[in-house]
Amino acid sequence: MTTATTLEEKIQSSGGNPALMLRKEPAGPYVFPIPEEYSNWRDEQEAWTKTAVLFDQSFHMFDTYFEGPDVKRLFSDYAVNDFTKFGRNKAKQFVAVNDEGKFIADAILFGIDDYEYSLVGTPGAGNYMQYRAETGDYDVTVTRDDATPFNPNPRFIFRYQLQGPNALKIVEKAVGGQVDRIKFFNIGQFVIAGTTVRALNHTMIGVPGLEMTGLEMTGPVADGPKVLAALQSAGEEYGLHMGGRLSYPTTAVESGWIALPVPAIYTGNDMKPYREWLPAMGFEAHYSLGGSLYSEDIEDYYVTPYDLGYGRVVNFDHDFHGRDALQKIAKGPHKKKVWLTWNEDDVARVVKSSLFDGPNRAKFMDMPSAVYSISTYDKILKNDRVIGFSAWSAYTVGHAAWVSIGTIDETDAIDGDEVTVVWGDEASIGYKSRVEAHKETFIRAKVSTTPLI
């Protein structure tokens, strides 16, 4: 028996159907390599709305560095974003598409210097741009600094995410004086405990405000402990909480990030060389797919940047891979990103059923986040018509509700309208260790086209 060495070989050896391959993939959600809770996830969630929370992101992010005279041209060629003014101390929500304008990956792109960028986030974006850098005519060197569980070497930098209304007060106390205001999605710097810290102004918990309520701070990894100690000491006065791996993923719902939709790489001649470049043991080859929206055609799970709320970053004033197709898609119709507040009576019924109804039970809902695969597509219905999918569900103390984020037909994206989420994943029974025998059921939900703040 021949063992597959590439993603393409794995697809073919699995019967040639990537949708079924990913459906049968047993991998659960990514487990963040930090303590489960520092206090308890309820207080940690509440802290980012009332005081402040600090997440140690030094271990779970994948950082891929690109350096050289062609780095801007490389990213301009393969991102939907405009790079005219991008460079040192700038940041972007990087988005790439295939030749049909379908979403491949997103990540935060940091301008470390004019000729050095860093892609930070899940491995998909870094993998894709490394492939383009190494197989294209670009004078660019790629250096990987993978997440700690996949990396035998020490990380290059520490990364601390400080969120909440007291974030700036804590930083200024740790600095020992006033900090210059940093524009949203720009990078500034200051000194904490003798270490020069670079800080990106952005938010993980909703819409950006006028003040710096969210700072992502980085610096040399060796200096991480003393910088963290200084921030923790400064935060004692302001109600700072450390955030653990239970509370951390629930920020996606509040911030509006639809995490990890299926990348549009598993079909088409355009992506075949990339599939032949990707390893059979890699992230994309073990991209477990779950949820009640079932199809045996992987392209039914592909989305566009507009479906994810990224229309604002698409710029057609430059030539990029997939541009012509995306221009046609831009004319619409689209799906629209929405927030869903789940009916509390239905949630209570599901929780009760999952515990006490034996073989007819509903799917268990882990708290505070009920994600059990890498990518989740829960069917959303309106009058028995499928209008989209719910991608991420969680309970948040700030809303005292179970909520999710998804994408639905824009004509159905009406504030206050009621829709139905089909909760469960009968297709994954027997394949995914975190999916027990159960029956799919229905949960009513109210639609909001704006963040739940």
Instruction: Determine the average pLDDT of the residues in 396-409.
Output: 95
Provide the pLDDT for residue 9. 98
Residues of the chain above pLDDT 70, percent: 97
Residue 111 to residue 95: CA distance in whole angstroms: 15
296-348 confidence digits (pLDDT tens): 999 999 999 999 999 999 999 999 999 999 999 999 999 999 999 999 999 99
Single-letter residue type at 235: G
Provide the pLDDT for residue 2. 56
Looking at the predicted structure, is the pLDDT value of residue 212 above 90? no
Residue 20 to residue 11: CA distance in whole angstroms: 10
CATH class label, 41-60+153-244: alpha beta
Read off the pLDDT band of 293 (50, 70, 90): very high
What does the DSSP 8-state code read for residue 114? T
Residue 180 to residue 185: CA distance in whole angstroms: 14
H or E element that contains 380: strand 378-382
Beta strands 441-448 and 214-220 are: unpaired
Contacts of 86 (CB under 8 A, 6+ apart): 72, 75, 92, 109, 111
Looking at the predicted structure, is the pLDDT value of residue 434 above 70? yes
Read off the pLDDT band of 452 (50, 70, 90): confident
Instruction: Determine the average pLDDT of the residues in 32-44.
Output: 97
**According to DSSP H, which parts of 312-402 are helical?**
323-330, 344-356
Query: How long is the chain?
Result: 453
55-76 confidence digits (pLDDT tens): 999 999 999 999 999 999 999 9
Read off the pLDDT band of 207 (50, 70, 90): very low
Looking at the predicted structure, is the pLDDT value of residue 237 above 80? yes
Of 197, 235, 239, whose CA–CA distance to 216 is shortest?
197
Map out the domains of the chain as residue ranges. Answer: 1-30+258-453, 41-60+153-244
Instruction: Determine the average pLDDT of the residues in 207-222.
Output: 80
Looking at the predicted structure, is the pLDDT value of residue 364 above 50? yes
Read off the pLDDT band of 211 (50, 70, 90): low
Mean pLDDT for all residues in the chain: 95
In angstroms, what is the C-alpha Rg of the chain?
Answer: 22
pTM, rounded to two decimals: 0.96
Cα atoms found within 13 Å of the Cα of residue 433, Cβ hemisphere only? 4
